[in-house]
Structure 1
Amino acid sequence: MKQPSSEPIWTKDFILVVLVNLLIFTVFYSYITVLPVYVLDGMDGTESQAGFVTSVFLLAAIILRPLSGMIIDRFGQKRIAIISVTLFTFSAFLYVFIDNFYMLLALRFFQGIWFSIITTVTGAIAANIIPKNRRGEGLGYFVMSMNLAVVIGPFIGLNLIGKVSFSNLFLLFSIFALVSIFCCLPLKVKEVKGSTSFAFTLSNMFEKKVLPIAIVGLSISFWYSSVISFISVYAHSLNLMDASGYFFLCFAATMIISRPFTGRLFDRVGPGIVIYPSILLFSIGLLMLAFTSSSVMLLLSGAVIGLGYGTLLPCMQTIAIQSSPANRSGYAIATFFTFFDTGIATGSYILGILVTFSGFSNLYLLASIFALISLYLYPWSRRKSKSGANNPASAIH
């Protein structure tokens, strides 16, 4: 059993980068909640147009992810963090003036570019700040800020829609983004020297040592997309809309409560003892959704999914970083989230088609079964990573 490091995790710089991540993801999830309603009510758009405003944003993020590592290496982590957060904030203010659907799509794509780079560079900064022997625990806290944003963003959006104008809502989101700039400016970042070339080759855009765990991440995010994309519609079909607003609150509660314990267990014993039970819990939570008929069952499934999925994401991100050299942390995070975002985007589309034939209960039943494939993919990824390691520094510890 590994001995825990005495070095602190919650330093000033770590708190600042967590706040940047929390604010950016809060704005992101607020838009996901508000923009479809804005397209339908404020622009008299269609349901397909409402869905497309999220798809084009994710498309930009997926396209730019592979380039993020090179950009960060070329210009430095702090400089890119400040530039990307500033341009993300600038684009946030532009929503106040947009009243044309195609201009909105262009703005979404533009903002998606900077979102992709921000979320890559903040992960790399956090990984470099956290003591090496406490990365599982530290990155768990960092990723928890993303999961908290899943609750905060939609809560703000859903509670203010209809009470204030869309322009004032967009202005509020812009202020959140603006605060993230002030959190970013005092950050002290120890730059890790990497390549400064812009060679557009697969080996330079992706960190190949991360590919095995990235494939596991894609398989998890594909089925998780059934939750973030359809939970509100599913709850509506069950006449449980009042309870659905608390689904992600239960999700976040179990994730927060379990995070210190699972993070320390990851660091001291190893990832397997955390990941295998988490995959099972994720599957059980999806199974519970398939048989949900009451508010209690819906909220309980949210708690179980939060415990499973909320633990898996930081664990997989930690493995991605540990499996790559220190000077490739940006590439590692970019590679992992390229696959992860692709899983959510393709899952939302494919499962959206599937649900029209199967219904929601059968969809979640299917998701619960196929999520268990990760029980076989994870040990495969470990074997693949170890067999592909050329030196001790590249191995997963």
Structure 2
Amino acid sequence: MSAEVSTTEKPALWTRNFVTVAAANFLLFFSFYQLLPILPLYIIEKFATDNATAGFIISLYTIGALACRPFAGFLVDTLSRKPLYFWTFFAFTACFLGYKTVGILPILAAVRFAHGLFFGISSTASNTVAIDALPASRRGEGIGYFGISVNLAFATGPMTGMFLYEAFGDTIVFAISIILCVIGLILVQTLNVPRKEKKPHAPLSLDRFFLTRAIPQFVNFIFVGFAYGPVTNYIALYAKELGIGGSGWFYALIAAGLIMNRIMTGRLIDRGYLIHLVGTGMTLNVVAYFILAFSHSPITFFVAAFLIGTSLGLIFPGYQTMCVNLARHDQRGTANSTYLSGWDIGIGAGILTGGSMAGYFGMHQPVFLACAIALVIADVLYFTWTARHYSKNKLEG
């Protein structure tokens, strides 16, 4: 009887390493997200500049993260992961101090770019260390749970930062971000990550910087990020145009949908439903953005938010699992950086395109309609190209 139980027993998911890296990842993202709503105000007040200049400086974070993604994957796959993770996390932490101490706008811009650069490498290392800690048979489930660390930071960070800023000023926000990052560094230092075996250096090739086997997933994820970019920057303005108050709840409902679905999605991925779950998420995302684009009441506005979160809860762990399953074991860092690069490119393109469209039309409704149309294209691509490509080329999972 006992022998039968042991053969069906699942390998452990909540190992010490996995819990530790998830907690450190939460602190990394929370420290960033709580700065997000106050940074434009801080830059405009301290440097007496305009909104356009503040917006450009803030965007340098995304540019820095995107610029390093291909190299981040190469570094994670080539160097010892724990030291790389620790020191890039340390540099990320030091940038918070830079915001408060620099007094010249060009240097602040350099700090912002560096912040994105170190974030890009440390978040790639964090994802890869987490995946290394997961048993292959429960990888989808584990990726889903790990993603909750980001979703919780997204749900609680901006509200916390804004509350602290309004109550105590900007200094306390920067101080708390630094303290939380220091705790994260301590957690990283306690990780038990095996040292990489020294192997002969393979010749440099494109697939050491970008997972060419995951091009369809990369392209599809750009479209998903493109649609989400305007949500990050323009949803409050769109709500104001519609006469809807409490736009902060929009993000809370996205986070609720994300967390709810991530908890359920991972187990279904490991049972073989990966392609179907991502397809469902892609189609649901299309529906959500059409509802948002034609929203005229608080009910449809907030329903769209929850549906966006629910669809992303299927899409995020699904695409990441696809990329990892298309990669060799020594390409996991590259797989993660490819996955994250698609998101970064999409977000940046969506924000820039959305801003230009809103300026041209004088309103934000066409922006979200364009996002819905882009997602229709992505949906068609997924079912005609991406899903088939994955079925033919997956290496594991």
Aligned counterpart in structure 1 of residue 141 of structure 2, from 137, 144, 147:
137
Residue 224 of structure 2 aligns to a residue whose secondary structure is helix
Deviation at 1:168, TM superposition (A): 2.2
Residue 308 of structure 2 corresponds to residue 305 of structure 1 = yes
Conserved? CA contact 1:320–1:332, under 8 Å:
yes
Q: 1:56 maps to what in 2?
A: 60
Conserved? CA contact 2:69–2:340, under 8 Å:
yes
- Write the distance in 1 (CA, Å) between the matches of 2:289 and 2:17: 37
Residue 228 of structure 2 corresponds to residue 224 of structure 1 = yes
Deviates more, 1:199-208 or 1:182-191: 199-208
Conserved? CA contact 2:328–2:395, under 8 Å:
no
Conserved? CA contact 1:74–1:195, under 8 Å:
no
Residue 126 of structure 2 corresponds to residue 122 of structure 1 = yes
- Write the distance in 2 (CA, Å) between the matches of 1:375 and 1:192: 39
Q: 2:170 maps to what in 1?
A: 166
Residue 209 of structure 2 corresponds to residue 205 of structure 1 = yes
Moved over 4 A (4+): 191-201
- Write the distance in 2 (CA, Å) between the matches of 1:35 and 1:175: 18
Following superposition of structure 1 onto structure 2, how do residues 1-397 of structure 1 map, counting pairs within 5 Å? Answer: 6-191=10-195, 193=197, 197=201, 201-241=205-245, 243-358=246-361, 359-379=363-383, 380-385=385-390, 389=393, 395=395, 397=397
What do the CA deviations read for 1:193-235 (whole angstroms, capped 9, x no partner)?
5877597642331121122211111111111112112112212
- Supply the AA of the counterpart residue of 1:248: Y
- Write the distance in 1 (CA, Å) between the matches of 2:93 and 2:202: 27
Structure 2: runs of 5+ lacking an equivalent: 1-6
Q: Give % identity.
A: 27
Conserved? CA contact 1:65–1:337, under 8 Å:
yes
Deviates more, 1:317-326 or 1:190-199: 190-199
Structure 1: runs of 5+ lacking an equivalent: none
Conserved? CA contact 2:244–2:298, under 8 Å:
yes
**Superposition RMSD on alpha carbons, in Å?**
2.2
Deviates more, 1:119-128 or 1:94-103: 94-103
Deviation at 1:74, TM superposition (A): 3.3
Conserved? CA contact 1:355–1:363, under 8 Å:
yes
Deviation at 1:93, TM superposition (A): 2.1
Conserved? CA contact 1:89–1:177, under 8 Å:
yes
Deviation at 1:254, TM superposition (A): 2.0
Residue 363 of structure 1 aligns to a residue whose secondary structure is helix
Conserved? CA contact 1:8–1:131, under 8 Å:
yes
Residue 271 of structure 1 aligns to a residue whose secondary structure is helix
Deviation at 1:331, TM superposition (A): 0.9
- Supply the AA of the counterpart residue of 2:262: R
1:257–1:382: structure 2 CA closer, same or farther, 3 Å change rule?
Answer: closer
Conserved? CA contact 1:386–1:396, under 8 Å:
no
- Supply the AA of the counterpart residue of 1:170: F
Deviation at 1:164, TM superposition (A): 1.7
- Write the distance in 1 (CA, Å) between the matches of 2:173 and 2:32: 13
What do the CA deviations read for 1:304-324 (whole angstroms, capped 9, x no partner)?
110002321111011111110
- Write the distance in 1 (CA, Å) between the matches of 2:309 and 2:238: 18
Conserved? CA contact 1:73–1:196, under 8 Å:
no
1:366–1:172: structure 2 CA closer, same or farther, 3 Å change rule?
Answer: same
Conserved? CA contact 1:5–1:133, under 8 Å:
no
Conserved? CA contact 2:98–2:108, under 8 Å:
no
What do the CA deviations read for 1:235-276 (whole angstroms, capped 9, x no partner)?
2333334x2111121112122222222211111032122111
1:113–1:199: structure 2 CA closer, same or farther, 3 Å change rule?
Answer: farther
